[in-house]
Structure formats: structure tokens, C-alpha cells
């Protein structure tokens, strides 16, 4: 009887869902486990040790990875900051400034970096900088990252702004607040969760990027993904697994924080 | 996550009729317009121009109009270029292979992603949150690291084979790496969340009273899935397929790391043209243009079918 009335149940779906989870997590867990392997060979598991973590921080290639991490972080912070500012301005224009000429084309333009395949963007950017004679390096990576981070910052900010009714700002203006004050004191605080999640998304996307960076980085400048790719090309050594584990844990901490942040926000809204 | 918001965004109208910041629109929009125009639209235009130039042998171009890049892509004129033109199948074959691989990866994502999305949408409270959280985490983990992990797991002498041998399922190691299946697995692994999230969003809006009505009319469970649920959640399924298929088509990491050098796809073909001094920039630009047009045609078809469905 109860079997007949449960319309939300399909036999086998749960098993396939669990299979999905297994396929997603098995490789990550394996790499985490093997990063604590004492053996130099990646095929056999000897005993637990932190040997390869010491190698990452103090070993032969430590300098290279430290420099790459520094480059990655500075570029990601720069790109996320600039693209978040650009995206915030754009979303105010799109959602709070009434009609204007070119509005219809603005949304496709803002989402263009999502529609063009990454490798095509990479080729176009490389050719562009070479055509105008701009030397590849930190600056070219930064510019390229700002461009493709814009939609990732824009979408959460615009989504948040859509859920904020404009009556609050209208009320403020009825009480003679200037437009700057109504933005600074009313809209901005309400918008903050959207801005923060837009910034975090842009930051992660920039940190994650390999293809575009690989094309526009020029000789000598490495970010963490390009450095790891270069090292992994010669075979997956245990120190690569240690770095991967560190990055993986960083990502998980990051996304957990942003989830918790979002949950606290929605709880507040409910009260 | 972002993709769901795209849909809401594109259909949503601005909430304020008059607009509080009326008159400031151009100043606020200018940074985005300028950045995207100068550093994305213009570069795409220059890329189109470059595809019609003559190649410089040490990388780069000579500013002389030439159709050589497209000619090389589509036609074979023999070693010295004096034979009658025949159709060159190498590059068309690579494009065809990429379409095929991306299609199979999308199918794999759909076959596993749909039930997963269904399971997530029918959980309640805490469990729904946990499943969603677990599905999105891999999306936040560096794609390169995920691909390297997959490569490590399925190597000939990797942990997977070791276990399967140890528990006696296999007699000799399963050869997965550098096969087409490895590429599909890598693409599946890279883009699965893009499939699950839009489908989940559609199923979440599905009203299960319809299933009840179907059951009252003696429809079986699977018949209901096929004739009632599936048509209603189809927009989510189509969106998911596009979100997986498009990046798979131009993917570089999965084919390069998991497929080995021999299994060429579009991404690797393009990358090779810009590597060091051996490449051919106009040819790379032409191949990129062809890939871009392919993707834009597909997206336009999708957009048209969406707007027709809405009307």
C-alpha cells in the first residue's frame, strides 16, 4: 500500500545517485590518502608520513611553488576585486536605472565570456596582446582574468539585487536622502551577501583557471595551475599529490564558509 | 549555481519602473562595456582577421591576405600544393571526433545526472542540503587537480586496477588511460554539476500531485516518468545538456591528460598551433573561429527554441 502511494520513489535512482557520488569523490579521496604515503613510488602504500608535505614547503621545488602560489593569489585577488566592482556597477545600471539605450545588448555582452569556449577566448586574447605588441606577463594574465570573471561576479550580485525591492531606497529618497546616500546606506548593506558571494566565485574561478593563463602567461611567469600542470606532465609524483590535497582542502574550507555565510543570511531573513 | 541564476536573470524584468539611479546608467555601465568590448569583442574580431592572414614560420603572422588556413582545414592539395584539391578529412575528423566525444560525455552525464537530480529534489530538509553541498563541492575544486586525480586513479598500475586485481575481479590490469572512455569519464567528471543543478531546479518545481493523478488513471511509475515528468522538466534537461556539451567540445585538460597525445580533440589541435615556434597562428585562429561558430549556432538554436516555447 505504502509502495503504491510513494510517487517520489523510483527503484534504482538512489543507487545511480550514490554511484555518481562515488565517481566524484573516489579520485579525490585516493589522492588525499596517497599524499600521506611514505614511499617514493606512487604505486605502493608503505606507511603514513608527512614527508611529501615537508617536500612541498622546504624541498627542491619549494621556491617555484611558493612563487606560483604568490602569483596566483595576487592575480586572483586583483581580478576578483576589479570584476566585482565592474559587475556591481553594471547590475545597478541593469536593474535600478530604468531604460537606457543599449540595455538589450548588455546582457548578452555580460554573459559573452560564458558562451565563448574557453580555448577560443584564450586564443583571441593571446592574438590581441601580440597584435598590439603588449608583452605577456602578470598584466596580461590579470586583464584576461578580469574579463572572464565579470559574469561570475555579475550573476550572484544581480540575483541578490532582484530580491531587494526598491521601495527602501525610494523611501530614503522621499526623506531627502541623496542618491549616493541611498546607495551607501540602504542598497549596499542589503546587497553585501551578493557582492561577497560574487567576489568569492570570481576569486575561485580565477584561481582555478588553467587554459587562458597558459596561453597568455608568457615565459617565466607561472601560476599554481600552470606550475602543477608542468610538473604533472613528467608524471604524477607524490609532492604533486600533497599540493593537490592542500588546494583541495582550501577549496572545501572556502566553499563551506560561503555556504555557512549564506545560511546565516537566509535564517536572518526568515526571522 | 550560476546557470540557474542566468535563467532567472534573463526572464526577469527590472523591479523599479522609474529607476532610482536614472541618468547614471551610462556611467555605471561604461566600465563593463569598455572592458568586455576592448578585451573580448575586439580580440575575437582580430582573431577573425588573423585567420585570413599568412603564417609566419616562427609563430605569428605576415600581414598578407590569404585563405591558406581555411584551405588547409578543408582541402588536401598534396605535398607540394599542385595536385587537384581533394577534401582533407584529418581536421574535419578531429571536429567530428570531438562532437562525438562531447556527445557521449553529455549522455553519460544525463544518464547518471538525472537520477541524482531526482534523488536530491525528493529529499527533505537536511538531506537535500547535504546532497546539494556534496554535488557542488567538486565544482569548486580546481579542474586540473580533479583531472590529475582521475588520471592517478585509473592508471594501468593505479589504485583502481590494484584493488580489482586484489579482490580477483580481473586477471590482468584494465587498460583505461589513453582511451576514448577515459576522455568521456574525465569530461563527465569535469562537468557533472552543470547537468545536475538545472535538472534539480526543474524537478523541484514539479508538482507530484500530477504523478498521483497519473497513477489514478492506471499509469505505471515508469510511464509517468516518461510521459508526465520528463516533458515537464525538459527545459532543465536541455539546459543541462548544453552546459555540459559546450565546454566539453573545447575541453583541453581531460583529452590531454587522460586521452594521451594520440587522441586528438579540437582543444589540443588549437593549443598545438600556438605552442612555441612550431605552430601556425592563422590555422589556429581559423580552427578557433570554426569552433566558435559551431557553438554560437547551437546556442542560437537553443535560444530560439526557448523563446518559441515561451510564446
Give B104→chain A minimum CA distance, Å: 16
- Cα–Cα distance measured from residue B41 to residue B69, given in angstroms and rounded to the nearest whole number: 22
Structural contact between residues A35 and A238, judged by C-beta atoms closer than 8 angstroms: yes
- Cα–Cα distance measured from residue A44 to residue A124, given in angstroms and rounded to the nearest whole number: 44
Q: Flag whether pLDDT at A3 surpasses 50.
A: no
Query: Consecutive sets of 10 residues in chain B, 311 residues long: mean pLDDT of each?
Result: 41 51 86 94 94 80 83 78 77 89 93 93 87 86 88 83 80 80 89 91 87 86 86 89 90 85 79 80 92 91 80 64
How many CB pairs (< 8 A) connect A and B? 309
Q: A160-175, pLDDT tens digit by residue?
A: 888 888 888 888 888 8
Q: Of chain B residues 110-169, which have a CB less than 8 A from chain A?
A: 111-113, 115-116, 118-120, 122, 131, 133-138, 140-146, 148-153, 157-159, 162
Q: Of chain A residues 202-241, which have a CB less than 8 A from chain B?
A: 204, 207-208, 210-211, 215, 225, 228-229, 232, 236, 240-241
Q: State whether residue A75 sits within 8 Å of chain B by CB.
A: no
Q: State whether residue B247 sits within 8 Å of chain A by CB.
A: yes
Give B6→chain A minimum CA distance, Å: 7
Give B206→chain A minimum CA distance, Å: 11
Kindly state the helix (H) or strand (E) to which residue B75 belongs, with its residue range: strand B75-76
Q: Of chain B residues 196-215, which have a CB less than 8 A from chain A?
A: 196, 208, 211-212, 215
DSSP secondary structure code for residue B40 in this structure:
I
A14 contacts on B by Cβ (under 8 Å): 115, 119
Q: Please report the pLDDT score of residue A271 as a whole number.
A: 40
Q: How confident is the model at residue A264 (pLDDT cuts 50, 70, 90)?
A: low
Q: Please report the pLDDT score of residue A262 as a whole number.
A: 58
Closest B-chain CA to A34:
B159
Q: State whether residue A168 sits within 8 Å of chain B by CB.
A: no
Mean of the pLDDT values across residues A83-112?
90
Q: Flag whether pLDDT at A227 surpasses 80.
A: yes
Range of lowest pLDDT (A105-114, A212-221, A259-268, B135-144): A259-268
The length of chain B, given as a count of residues: 311
Kindly state the helix (H) or strand (E) to which residue B65 belongs, with its residue range: strand B61-65
Q: Name the grid cell of B217.
A: 488513471
Cβ atoms < 10 Å from Cβ of B260: 14
Among B60, B140, B215, whose Cβ lies nearest the Cβ of A7? B215
Give B138→chain A minimum CA distance, Å: 7
- Cα–Cα distance measured from residue B73 to residue A175, given in angstroms and rounded to the nearest whole number: 67
Q: Of chain A residues 130-159, which have a CB less than 8 A from chain B?
A: 130-131, 143-144, 146-147, 150-152, 154-156, 158-159
Q: Which residue has the higher pLDDT, A98 or B200?
A: B200
Cβ atoms < 10 Å from Cβ of B23: 11
Q: In this structure, is the dihedral angle defined by the CA atoms of residues A122, A124, A125 and A127, taken in order, positive or negative?
A: positive
Place of cell 586528438: B264
Q: Please report the pLDDT score of residue A263 as a whole number.
A: 59
Q: Please report the pLDDT score of residue B272 as a whole number.
A: 86
Report chain B's terminal Cα–Cα distance, integer Å: 26
3-state secondary structure chain A: CHHHHCCCCCCCHHHHHHHHHHHHHHHHHHHHHHCCECCCCCCCCCCECCHHHHHHHHCCCHHHHHHHHHHHHHHHHHHHHHHHHHHHHHHHHHHHCCCCCCHHHHHHHHHHHHHCCHHHHHHHHHHHHHHCCCCCCHHHHHHHHHHHHHHHHHHHHHHHHHHCCCHHHHHHHHCCCCHHHHHHHHHHHHHHHHHHHHHHHHHHHHHHCCHHHHHHCCCCCCCHHHHHHHHHHCCCCHHHHHHHHHHHHHHHHHHHHHHHHHHHHHHHHHC
A28: left (phi over 0), alpha (psi -120 to 50) or beta: alpha
Structural contact between residues A251 and A205, judged by C-beta atoms closer than 8 angstroms: no
Amino acid at each position: 500500500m505504502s509502495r503504491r502511494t510513494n510517487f517520489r520513489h523510483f527503484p534504482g535512482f538512489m543507487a545511480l545517485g550514490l554511484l555518481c557520488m562515488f565517481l566524484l569523490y573516489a579520485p579525490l579521496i585516493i589522492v588525499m590518502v596517497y599524499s600521506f604515503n611514505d614511499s617514493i613510488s606512487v604505486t605502493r602504500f608503505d606507511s603514513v608520513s608527512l614527508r611529501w608535505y615537508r617536500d612541498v614547503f622546504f624541498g627542491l621545488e619549494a621556491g617555484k611553488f611558493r612563487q606560483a602560489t604568490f602569483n596566483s593569489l595576487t592575480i586572483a585577488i586583483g581580478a576578483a576585486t576589479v570584476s566585482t566592482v565592474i559587475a556591481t556597477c553594471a547590475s545597478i545600471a541593469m536593474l535600478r536605472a530604468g531604460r537606457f539605450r543599449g540595455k538589450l545588448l548588455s546582457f548578452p555582452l555580460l554573459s559573452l565570456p560564458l558562451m565563448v569556449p574557453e580555448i577560443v577566448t584564450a586564443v583571441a586574447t593571446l592574438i590581441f596582446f601580440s597584435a598590439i605588441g603588449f608583452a605577456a606577463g602578470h598584466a596580461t594574465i590579470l586583464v584576461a582574468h578580469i574579463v572572464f570573471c565579470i559574469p561570475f561576479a555579475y550573476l550572484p550580485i544581480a540575483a541578490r539585487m532582484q530580491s531587494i525591492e526598491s521601495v527602501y531606497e525610494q523611501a530614503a529618497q522621499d526623506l531627502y536622502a541623496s542618491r549616493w546616500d541611498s546607495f551607501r546606506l540602504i542598497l549596499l548593506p542589503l546587497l553585501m551577501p551578493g557582492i561577497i558571494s560574487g567576489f568569492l566565485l570570481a576569486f575561485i574561478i580565477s584561481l582555478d583557471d588553467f587554459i587562458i593563463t597558459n596561453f597568455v602567461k608568457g615565459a617565466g611567469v607561472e601560476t599554481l595551475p600552470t606550475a602543477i600542470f608542468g610538473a604533472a606532465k613528467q608524471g604524477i609524483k607524490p609532492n604533486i599529490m600533497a599540493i593537490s590535497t592542500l588546494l583541495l582542502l582550501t577549496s572545501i574550507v572556502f566553499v563551506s564558509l560561503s555556504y555557512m555565510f549564506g545560511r546565516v543570511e537566509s535564517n536572518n531573513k526568515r526571522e | 549555481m550560476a546557470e540557474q541564476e542566468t535563467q532567472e536573470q534573463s526572464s526577469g524584468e527590472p523591479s523599479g519602473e522609474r529607476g532610482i539611479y536614472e541618468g547614471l546608467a551610462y556611467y555605471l555601465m561604461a566600465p563593463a562595456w569598455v572592458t568586455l568590448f576592448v578585451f573580448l569583442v575586439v580580440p575575437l574580431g582580430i582573431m577573425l582577421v588573423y585567420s585570413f592572414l599568412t603564417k609566419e614560420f616562427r609563430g605569428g603572422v605576415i600581414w598578407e591576405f590569404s585563405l591558406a588556413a581555411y584551405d588547409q582545414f578543408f582541402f588536401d592539395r598534396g605535398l607540394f600544393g599542385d595536385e587537384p584539391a581533394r577534401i582533407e578529412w584529418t581536421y574535419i575528423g578531429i571536429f567530428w571526433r570531438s562532437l562525438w566525444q562531447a556527445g557521449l560525455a553529455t549522455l553519460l552525464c544525463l544518464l547518471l545526472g538525472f537520477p541524482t537530480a531526482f534523488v536530491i529534489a525528493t529529499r527533505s530538509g537536511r538531506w537535500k542540503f547535504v546532497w546539494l553541498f556534496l554535488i557542488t563541492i567538486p565544482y569548486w575544486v580546481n579542474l586540473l587537480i580533479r583531472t590529475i586525480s582521475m588520471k592517478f586513479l585509473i592508471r594501468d598500475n593505479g589504485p583502481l586496477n590494484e584493488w580489482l586485481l586484489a579482490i580477483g575481479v580481473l586477471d590482468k590490469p584494465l587498460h583505461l588511460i589513453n582511451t576514448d572512455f577515459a576522455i568521456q569519464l574525465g569530461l563527465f567528471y569535469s562537468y557533472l554539476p552543470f547537468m545536475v543543478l538545472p535538472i534539480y531546479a526543474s524537478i523541484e518545481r514539479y508538482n507530484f500531485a500530477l504523478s498521483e493523478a497519473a497513477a489514478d488513471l492506471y499509469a505505471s511509475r515508469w510511464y509517468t516518468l516518461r510521459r508526465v515528468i520528463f516533458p515537464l522538466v525538459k527545459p532543465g534537461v536541455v539546459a543541462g545538456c548544453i552546459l555540459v556539451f559546450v565546454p566539453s567540445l573545447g575541453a583541453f585538460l581531460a583529452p590531454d591528460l587522460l586521452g594521451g597525445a594520440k587522441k586528438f580533440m579540437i582543444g589540443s589541435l588549437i593549443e598545438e598551433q600556438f605552442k612555441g615556434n612550431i605552430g601556425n597562428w592563422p590555422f589556429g585562429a581559423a580552427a578557433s573561429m570554426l569552433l566558435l561558430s559551431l557553438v554560437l549556432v547551437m546556442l542560437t538554436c537553443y535560444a530560439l527554441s526557448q523563446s518559441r516555447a515561451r510564446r
